[in-house]
Amino acid sequence: MPVRPARRTLPLIAAALTVALAATACTNDDSDTSAKKTAPNTTAASTPTPALSPAQASDAITHYSNNNLAHMNQDRALLDTVEGGPRYAMSLADIKQDEALPKADREPYRPWSYDLSATDLYIPRLKDGQQRWFAAVTKAGSQQQYARVLVLAENTKSKQWEMVATVDIDDPKQLPQIVLDKDGYATAVDAASNSLAAPVGVLHSAVTDNFATGGEMTGKKVFTSTETSRRQIKVHDETTGKFGPRGTTRFASVAPQFTDTYALKTTKGALVIFSHTHSQHDAVTAPGLGIVPEKHDRAWLGTTPSPAFTYTFTCSDIAAVPSTPDPSSLLGYGCRRTDAEAAGPSTSV
């Protein structure tokens, strides 16, 4: 461990995390009313054990790599058997958007797979009752200069392993060292713990502030300057002025649709994978003006102009969070437009 079990055959693209990490252990609280009964072994029940074996983790990634048919046929039901959480929401958005485009504008689907020989597995030990999950880092490129963090979790109902997050890392060299025990297994961390410099709630606020204000309120305080943080701030800077004097754009935080978070212990704190949701509200500044939906918006909005539109984005993020009171590092993120609607005749934002 780390087991080197999948490199994509195509360049990695930004995608974008997340299942609950800090569930409490289940213990047997039945009363022992008979002297003949054997007392339950609560100590064994609370001992963290690996979420699954390295071989099983490799099989789960291989199984996910076989979902090309679901994408090629835009089969939502089949895709639902191998994806979950924000990853599934993003894929559904991709399918809906593609179906609304003229066939001439649709990019042909290119099959891909993860190369297990270029993938490191990070399997946490979990207590009884915690949802099973694991992470992996897969690399690609002639010098393995591209890296993507994967998170797969077991669906508690179907018991199938699903991809719930895929996040490309802007600079693989910034990935922190994940702590492994003598058997090669990782340690799960409570991402909401105050033992971290930035619990996940703080990370949510800082990420959405990067979009909303360019990081001026909390984003630049919580995060050190990285390529990822700068990309989010660039979205704010370039988008808020795109209409000039005829329109305005304002970003806002939205209650996350997917609240599950994954975190692994590192030598300096934790690697945290989480999901956030934000909105973008575009509006004209004077009566008589209208915004024409762009072609990739038409799956939700059609072609009718409107004085205002509100877009919803589902995103996955990954951050290196220290245990000391130092800034965190945002390492990668990916978003998809997952909803949009006309916001009415008002020109206010």
DSSP of 143-189, one letter per residue?
A: T--EEEEEEEEE-TTT--EEEEEEEEES-GGGPPPBPB-TTS-EEB-
pTM for the model stands at 0.84
Question: CA dist 211 to 101, 311, 327, Å?
Answer: 28, 13, 18
Q: Residue 345: what pLDDT? A: 54
| Whole-number pLDDT of residue 38 | 41
Rounded Cα–Cα distance for residues 250 and 279 (Å): 8
Please state, as a whole number, how many other Cβ atoms lie within 10 Å of the Cβ of residue 206: 26
Q: Is the peptide bond before 102 cis (omega within 30 degrees of 0)?
A: no
pLDDT of the chain, 349 residues: tens digit per residue: 333 333 333 232 223 322 232 333 333 333 333 333 344 444 445 689 999 999 999 999 999 987 777 878 888 998 999 999 999 999 999 999 999 998 888 888 888 888 899 999 999 999 988 999 999 999 988 888 899 999 999 998 999 999 999 999 999 999 999 999 999 999 999 999 999 999 999 999 999 999 999 999 999 999 999 999 999 999 999 999 999 999 999 999 999 899 999 999 999 999 999 999 999 999 999 999 999 999 889 999 999 999 999 999 999 999 999 999 999 999 999 999 999 999 765 544 4
CB of 166 closer than 8 Å to CB of 65: no
The region, left, alpha or beta by phi > 0 then psi within -120 to 50, assigned to residue 324 is beta
What integer pLDDT is reported at residue 346 of this predicted model?
53
Do the beta carbons of residue 283 and residue 349 sit within 8 Å? yes
